[in-house]
Amino acid sequence: MTEPIGPVSDAAVRADPAFVSAAGLTKAFGAHVAVDDVSLEVAKGEVISIIGPSGAGKSSLIRCLNLLEVPDHGSLRIGDARVDFTGGSLAKPQVRALRAQTGMVFQAFNLFPHFSALKNVALPQMRVHKRSRAEAEERAMAELTRVGLASKANAYPAECSGGQQQRIAIARALAMDPELMLFDEPTSGLDPEIGAEILQVMRGLAADDMTMLIVTHEMEFARHVSNRVVVMVDGAVIEEGPPEQIMTQPEHERTQQFLSAVLGR
Ligand SMILES: Nc1ncnc2c1ncn2[C@@H]1O[C@H](COP(=O)(O)OP(=O)(O)OP(=O)(O)O)[C@@H](O)[C@H]1O
């Protein structure tokens, strides 16, 4: 876990520049517009960090991408799955097809406390993909091994550290074969050392060309793991670019203010 963490190679960003394409996404909660006409294209294999002040709409945006929140307007395409949110209710098959493309990792790990790590990772596969128990458990074991937790397969969440629980949650999401992984502050609330374990797992996924969108308050994380940093303020994307550029020469005054506040400079 002490291995130095360097930037993901841009070579990881492959030929499909608009594998994820969100256009004009808008989401209001009552009178408050949490996501305000956001358009975003994500290349296959790209790793994007979304940063910005508290309440900027970062979580709401990624929740819109897997339809945990249904946008009021706009459209979204992930791979072959496409949904238009403007006008009318969503057809269930469309929603299912879009959701099937994404895996989500939350700040709170959301594991079932009464099931072992193995069962936590196997059950969603059995329910959603209708895999047999043997098949789901075999895959669960493979994903637990991938996140370095084969030895904890039979442990319950309460017998695992916060970092281990988060890695189980990552394994659970991966076992569903997502094309896009969404992370909502995956290291918040964890000790820095434990956060580094998660970071290491995520770097491994980036090296495997997993497409990832990560909401994070950790600027070092954004700087060293991403191909691109997206800055949100008041529901809108105000600036985006390569991590070094955003961190050292941000163009927008609100980005400068935000970075000054979080980096104390
Ligand atoms: N389910 C909801 N109902 C009502 N308001 C909501 C809901 N979810 C988010 N909001 C509001 O939308 C705005 C954006 O919230 P969001 O959590 O997306 O911001 P954020 O940038 O992720 O903030 P933080 O960094 O603090 O997590 C906030 O004003 C929040 O109170």
97-119 residue pLDDT tens: 899 999 999 988 889 999 999 99
For the chain, the structural domain boundaries read: 104-177
CA-nearest residue, atom 31 of ligand 1: 55
Residue nearest to atom 3 of ligand 1 (CA): 29
pLDDT score at 92: 84
CA of 212 relative to ligand 1 center, distance in Å? 21
pLDDT for 95 equals 86
Q: Which atom of ligand 1 is nearest to the CA of 63?
A: 18
Closest approach atom of ligand 1 to CA 185? 27
* Ligand 1 center–CA 55 separation, angstroms: 5
Query: Measured from the CA of 69, which atom of ligand 1 is nearest?
Result: 1
Single-letter code of the amino acid located at 86: T
Quick check: 233 and 34 in contact, CB under 8 A? Answer: no
Instruction: Tell me the C-alpha distance between 261 and 112, whole Å.
Output: 37
Residue with tokens 């955003």: 246
Residue-level pLDDT at 26: 96
In DSSP notation, the chain reads: --S---PPPGGGS-S-TTSEEEEEEEEEETTEEEEEEEEEEE-TT-EEEEE-STTSSHHHHHHHHTTSS--SEEEEEETTEEEE-SSSPPPHHHHHHHHTTEEEE-SS----TTS-HHHHHHHHHHHHS---HHHHHHHHHHHHHHTT-GGGTT--GGGS-HHHHHHHHHHHHHTT--SEEEEESTTTTS-HHHHHHHHHHHHHHHHTT-EEEEE-S-HHHHHHH-SEEEEEETTEEEEEE-HHHHHHS--SHHHHHHHHHHHT-
Please give the distance, rounded to the nearest whole angstrom, from the Cα atom of residue 163 to the centre of ligand 1.
Answer: 25
Q: For position 256, what pLDDT does the model report?
A: 94
Mean pLDDT by 10 residues, the chain (265 residues): 45 70 96 96 94 96 94 93 82 87 91 96 95 97 96 96 94 96 91 86 90 91 89 97 94 94 82
Closest residue CA from atom 28 of ligand 1: 55
User: Which residues have C-beta atoms less than 6 Å from ligand 1?
Assistant: 29, 32, 34, 52, 54-60
Cα–ligand 1 centroid distance for 197 (angstroms): 27
Distance 10 CA to ligand 1 centre (A): 31
- pTM for the whole structure: 0.91
CA 12 centroid distance within chain: 17
* Token code pair at residue 43: 């290349």
Q: How far is the CA of 213 from the centre of ligand 1 (A)?
A: 17
C-alpha closest to that of 155 among 168, 137, 136, 170: 168
Nearest atom within ligand 1 for CA of residue 60: 18
- Cα→Cα distances 92→81, 149, 211, Å: 12, 35, 25
Residue identified by tokens 């954004």 is 222
Phi/psi at 188 (nearest 5 deg)? -65, 140
Report the nearest atom of ligand 1 relative to the CA of 235.
14
User: 262, 209, 255, 233: which is closest to 35 by C-alpha?
Assistant: 233
pLDDT at 2 (0 to 100): 36
